[in-house]
């Protein structure tokens, strides 16, 4: 196995932009062996290296989708699960972060990813699946979130029985919950904080975790070396997660504009937010034209199957009457102004209305630019170096010597126009740990 050189390319390394750069990576180790931000003579290329002329293209780190779910609970019986990790890789997403799935599903998918990569290296073949990070199960409580959303569409006896096996975390069992997750290979801990006040359900319709419980889980998570993030869709629930000491929120809220108290808590914790504007738009039944646009795009480029194309067009439409997507836009703008990190994620799930794993991240990033005043490079940063930093994924997210060779080559200048990712030739090459995606 040899090296590959991409030369004369516009490089966005996850933070900064360089013109006429060269990047060399090694197939056997799966890592980047050199980065030059000035023209490199061909005599300096490794002997026998495969050489790619990157002129007219942009080279990016593999994108990171920081909020999705790898389970199949929203799919109808018999529906294919093949695209859960394949459709994101087609979109340049080399890492996905699952935010609540059963350990069996995660283990099954991780095994498939590892076996595929090993076989590709052995046979000089290609890969088709994104890398998978996971919280495993979130710190659920008896009868609490996300039970209503999972049981809402198809409450079969089998599904009810499965939900009953979810953790029932208490203050006393929080340390054991975290210890068990660490032993099973979790990458971070996920809290669930939901009272339904932003949803088309009566406020308090389900049991709600207490501040005491969430603090116990956060403390146990931090003691074990985990980042801890939390679900919340309203201001009051967001503040509970932040008062518990969490490192980030896996949604922003839609029930009201951002109050100063919430901003202050974000700043106190140095917490980050994963806005998930794509799924919030489905929740509030707004931005139908955006859903149609990206569904059309996904169909045209054959990124997902026909079921998912139709699924991307539909909306959950489960909001409380007062909830507005505009509040989410305003909150992201305000958090940015206050120096709070915004990390890209969509809450995409196979079968969840309004989402398609992979194309939804493109929509999410464009929403940051067009609705939240981000620059293109800031949006790209939110899906590369920033999530890697905030989740502690020290081996990826940036193009630098010694990092994983998770790379995306795009025809044109993505740093000036995000739509270059999908317009025209779009993505012309993806590598995961130095192995070409096929």
CATH number of the domain residue 208 falls in: 3.20.20.140
Dihedral (Cα; 123, 125, 128, 131), 10-degree rounding: 60
Comparing 90 with 162, the larger pLDDT belongs to 90
Comparing 33 with 148, the larger pLDDT belongs to 33
CA distances, 75 to each of 308, 311, 316, 414 (Å): 10, 10, 14, 34
- Are both 296 and 147 inside the same structural domain? yes
Mean pLDDT across 124-132: 97
Give pLDDT, residue 1. Answer: 58
User: How far apart are alpha carbons 184 and 192 in whole angstroms?
Assistant: 20
Give pLDDT, residue 159. Answer: 79
User: How far apart are alpha carbons 386 and 160 in whole angstroms?
Assistant: 38
CA distances, 262 to each of 121, 284, 335 (Å): 48, 22, 10
Q: For residue 164, is pLDDT > 90?
A: no
User: How far apart are alpha carbons 207 and 201 in whole angstroms?
Assistant: 13
Q: For residue 357, is pLDDT > 80?
A: yes
CA distances, 106 to each of 90, 102, 151, 274 (Å): 20, 7, 20, 21
Q: Scanning the structure block, which residue is given the tokens 């529906």?
A: 79
Q: For residue 154, is pLDDT > 80?
A: no
| Helix 260-269 with 235-243: angle, nearest 10 deg | 30
- Are both 240 and 360 inside the same structural domain? yes
- Are both 41 and 122 inside the same structural domain? no
- Are both 133 and 179 inside the same structural domain? yes
Q: For residue 340, is pLDDT > 90?
A: yes
% of the chain exceeding 90 in pLDDT = 89
Structure confidence by residue, pLDDT tens digits, 257-284: 999 999 999 999 999 999 999 999 999 9
Residue 141 pLDDT level (bands cut at 50, 70, 90): very high
- Are both 77 and 169 inside the same structural domain? yes
User: How far apart are alpha carbons 161 and 164 in whole angstroms?
Assistant: 5
Longest dimension (CA), the chain: 69
C-alpha 65 chain-centroid distance: 2
- Are both 274 and 340 inside the same structural domain? yes
Q: For residue 200, is pLDDT > 80?
A: yes
Helices (H), 24-97: 86-90
CA 320, 321, 323, 325 torsion-angle sign: positive
Q: For residue 252, is pLDDT > 80?
A: yes
CB atoms within 10 A of CB 157: 7
Is the N-terminal amide bond of 146 cis, ω within 30° of 0?
yes
Are residues 75 and 346 in contact, defined by beta-carbon separation less than 8 angstroms? no
- Are both 434 and 297 inside the same structural domain? no
- Are both 210 and 111 inside the same structural domain? yes
Give pLDDT, residue 76. Answer: 86
CATH of the domain at 35: 2.30.40.10
Label residue 126 exposed, middle or buried (CB < 10 Å: 0-12, 13-18, 19+).
middle
pLDDT, averaged across the chain: 96
Q: Which H or E run contains 175?
A: helix 174-184
Mean pLDDT across 185-199: 96
Provide the CB-side half-sphere exposure for 165 (13 A, CA).
Answer: 9
Helix count and strand count (H, E) for the chain: 15, 16
- Are both 316 and 178 inside the same structural domain? yes
Mean pLDDT across 99-104: 96
User: Domain total for the chain?
Assistant: 2
- Are both 78 and 56 inside the same structural domain? no
Give pLDDT, residue 153. Answer: 64
User: How far apart are alpha carbons 421 and 174 in whole angstroms?
Assistant: 43
Give pLDDT, residue 282. Answer: 98
User: How far apart are alpha carbons 390 and 406 in whole angstroms?
Assistant: 18
- Are both 49 and 113 inside the same structural domain? no
Q: Two tokens at 59? A: 């080279």
Q: Which region among 110-119, 139-148, 159-168, 376-385 has the lowest average model confidence (pLDDT)?
A: 159-168
Secondary-structure percent of the chain, ordered helix, strand, coil, rounded to 5 = 35, 20, 45
Give pLDDT, residue 318. Answer: 94
- Are both 23 and 95 inside the same structural domain? no
Q: Which H or E run contains 360?
A: helix 359-372
* Domain ranges, residue 55: 1-61+398-438
């Amino acid at each position: 196995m040899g090296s590959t050189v991409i030369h004369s390319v516009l490089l966005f390394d996850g933070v900064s932009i360089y013109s006429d750069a060269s990047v060399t990576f090694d197939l056997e180790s799966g890592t980047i062996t050199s980065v030059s931000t000035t023209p490199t003579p061909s005599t300096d290329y490794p002997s026998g290296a495969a050489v790619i002329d990157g002129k007219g293209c942009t080279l990016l780190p593999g994108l990171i989708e920081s909020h999705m779910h790898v389970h199949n609970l929203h799919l109808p019986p018999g529906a294919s699960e093949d695209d859960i990790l394949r459709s994101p890789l087609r979109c340049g997403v080399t890492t996905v972060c699952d935010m609540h799935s059963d350990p069996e599903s995660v283990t099954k998918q991780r095994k498939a990813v590892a076996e595929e990569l090993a076989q590709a290296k052995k046979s000089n073949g290609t890969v088709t699946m994104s890398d998978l990070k996971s919280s495993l199960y979130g710190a659920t409580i008896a009868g609490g979130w996300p039970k209503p959303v999972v049981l809402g569409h198809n409450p079969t006896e089998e599904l009810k029985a499965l939900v009953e096996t979810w953790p029932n975390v208490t203050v006393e069992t929080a340390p054991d919950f975290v210890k068990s997750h660490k032993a099973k290979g979790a990458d971070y801990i996920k809290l669930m904080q939901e009272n339904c006040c932003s949803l088309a359900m009566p406020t308090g319709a389900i049991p709600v975790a207490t501040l005491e419980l969430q603090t116990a889980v956060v403390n146990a998570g931090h003691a074990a070396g985990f980042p801890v993030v939390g679900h919340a869709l309203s201001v009051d629930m967001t503040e509970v997660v932040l008062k518990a000491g969490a490192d980030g929120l896996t949604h922003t809220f839609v029930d009201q504009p951002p109050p100063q108290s919430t901003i202050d808590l974000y700043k106190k914790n140095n917490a980050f937010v994963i806005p998930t504007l794509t799924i919030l738009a489905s929740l509030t039944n707004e931005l139908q034209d955006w859903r149609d646009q990206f569904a059309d795009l996904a169909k045209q480029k054959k990124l997902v199957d026909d079921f998912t194309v139709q699924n991307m067009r539909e909306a959950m439409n489960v909001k409380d009457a007062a909830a507005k997507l505009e509040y989410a836009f305003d909150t992201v703008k305000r958090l940015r102004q206050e120096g709070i990190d915004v990390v890209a994620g969509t809450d995409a799930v196979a079968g969840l209305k309004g989402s398609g794993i992979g194309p939804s991240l493109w929509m999410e990033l464009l929403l940051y630019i067009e609705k939240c005043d981000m620059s293109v490079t800031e949006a790209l940063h939110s899906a590369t170096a920033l999530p890697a930093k905030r989740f502690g994924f020290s081996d990826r997210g940036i193009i630098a010597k010694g990092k994983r060779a998770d790379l995306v080559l795009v025809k044109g200048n993505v740093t000036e126009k995000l739509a270059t990712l999908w317009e025209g030739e779009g993505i012309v090459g993806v590598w995961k740990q130095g192995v070409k995606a096929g």
